[in-house]
Amino acid sequence: MTPGGRYARSAAHFRALDDEQIACSCHIHVGLPDPRDAVHVSNHLRPWLPTLIAISANSPFRDGKDTGYASWRTTTWGRWPVAGPPPYFESPAHFDDLVDTLTDAEALIDRGGLYWDIRPSHHLPTVEVRVADAALTPDDTVMLASVVRALTATALRSIRAGEAAPRPAPEVLRAACWRAARDGLAGTGIDPLTGHLVAQTALIEKLLHTIAPALRRHDDLDHTREQWQRLRTEGTGADRQRAAHRRRTSTHDVVDHLISATSPR
């Protein structure tokens, strides 16, 4: 535990949740000077959370064993009282009122404990997307950041045009996140807007088509497409970890692979 009063209070309050908290994640901040925009952007980004999980899945092992999940972190993180997909916010005031209610109810010790997959940052003028595993390689991370930035830019255009955010049922969205965490890019995922099973690769193609204009404006389109084709060929970080493990059924080989994937030497 990091020394200091905040983490001591957290350990006393959340007990075994803190004892078992070993997950690593990638937090992506996109600058939004108006904090009200962050709330509205959160509404527009919610339906894409399962797709972001599938792209970034990189935690198949737990205690030296294969969990059967591509992103085991997603399932463990959901145990926190304020975690997972955020609710749909009717307004910035609704967001503030809900956070105050959760704080008064002691489900939060402060705003830093908002562990929703998307949140207005409590200390920076940004919207913060926190749904992803820590990626296997820098290329994986850059692709994910490019996608999140383009999603945010696309959402802002929709907001400025007065377009309402899609409102998938919370139960369906949660199930879609679970399915994406279990299977990653493999097989089928749940489309949060229809509830139907669809090839996960088709859901990602739909995402990339939606944000293509924003990717182009940021000069990210070609690079993101190139990285997506690489992912389709090589698999997610979870797939690559499992491939390393299959050689000799050794978790040591997984660690060696992680080192070689991230170290210049």
Residue 2, C-beta contacts closer than 8 angstroms, at least 6 positions apart:
none
pLDDT of residue 7: 84
| DSSP annotation of 162 | T
| Residue 183 · residue 60 · CB < 8 Å | no
Report whether pLDDT(1) > 90.
no
Domains and CATH numbers, the chain: 26-234 (3.30.590.20)
**DSSP bridge partners of 84:** 116
Number of helices followed by number of strands (H, E) in the chain? 12, 9
| Residue 49 · residue 85 · CB < 8 Å | yes
pLDDT tens track for 196-254: 999 999 999 999 999 999 999 999 999 999 999 999 999 999 999 999 999 999 999 99
pLDDT tens track for 127-172: 999 999 999 999 999 999 999 999 999 999 999 999 999 999 999 9
Report whether pLDDT(2) > 80.
no
Q: Tell me the C-alpha distance between 178 and 183, whole Å.
A: 9
| Residue 128 · residue 86 · CB < 8 Å | no
| Residue 110 · residue 54 · CB < 8 Å | no
What is the mean predicted confidence (pLDDT) over 48-75?
Answer: 96
pLDDT of residue 24: 85
Q: Tell me the C-alpha distance between 93 and 87, whole Å.
A: 14
Specify the pTM: 0.95
pLDDT tens track for 70-121: 999 999 998 999 999 999 999 999 999 999 999 999 999 988 899 999 999 9
| Residue 236 · residue 57 · CB < 8 Å | yes
Q: How many CB atoms lie within 10 A of CB 238?
A: 28
Residue 120, C-beta contacts closer than 8 angstroms, at least 6 positions apart:
35, 38, 39, 42, 95, 126, 127, 128
pLDDT of residue 265: 67
pLDDT tens track for 15-55: 888 887 777 899 999 999 998 999 999 999 999 999 999 99
